[in-house]
Amino acid sequence: MVMNYPGYNNVNSRFQYPKLAISAAIAIATAGPRQGFAESKLVVANLAEALGQISLQTAEENERLNAEMANNYAIRAADAMLKLAESRNTAFDLSLAQGALVAATRARGMEIQIISSRILAYLASPEAQRAIAAMALDSANDLETRILAFESLAVSAKLNTNILPEAMIDAIYAIISSDQTERDLRLAASTAYGALNLPSRKVKDLILDQAKS
């Protein structure tokens, strides 16, 4: 049975009614319908649109929504998508929002970064997993953000196996093996590294290095 949301298309103009379209998308996603419906792609597109607002840095670039309102919509949209991802709701194809989610992991707003990384953990694509890893490896992010990103990477690895390039794996290993790495960051990185299910030689090296530290 295919559900229908009559009237949703009537507000689905991101140019004429951006706040209304985004608010409607958040409401529908939060309700979490599990049966397919014709407007599901439009819902995801508007959720992604809300995330996209936070990448606009100036009032001139973001005339439709001011910065505070944009952040509020972005957090609400991300929370709604996370709920869909964690409940494995197949009525919505969250991969359609992957580009906006990846961009949000690079935004300098800790909350939206973290939620986006948690959503990406449920997407089975190399780009999603690499975005999470990049966020965890980025020393410009604060310690808590990086630790939580490594936690998301561990979830991604458990759900989707290792789809990281060798260079990123080596960078994670470098964090683990460095004497300069903060203890909690090393622990989070080690957990993610273990979840990647790497060849036994790499895991053996990790165990030996940790035994020395």
Report whether pLDDT(211) > 60. no
CB neighbour list of residue 208: distance below 8 Å, 6 or more residues apart: none
pTM of the entire structure? 0.84
Sketch the domain layout of the chain as residue ranges: 1-93, 121-213
pLDDT value of residue 93: 97
CB neighbour list of residue 147: distance below 8 Å, 6 or more residues apart: 184, 185, 188
- Condensed to tens digits (0 to 9), the pLDDT of residues 121-157 reads 999 999 999 999 999 999 999 999 999 999 999 999 9
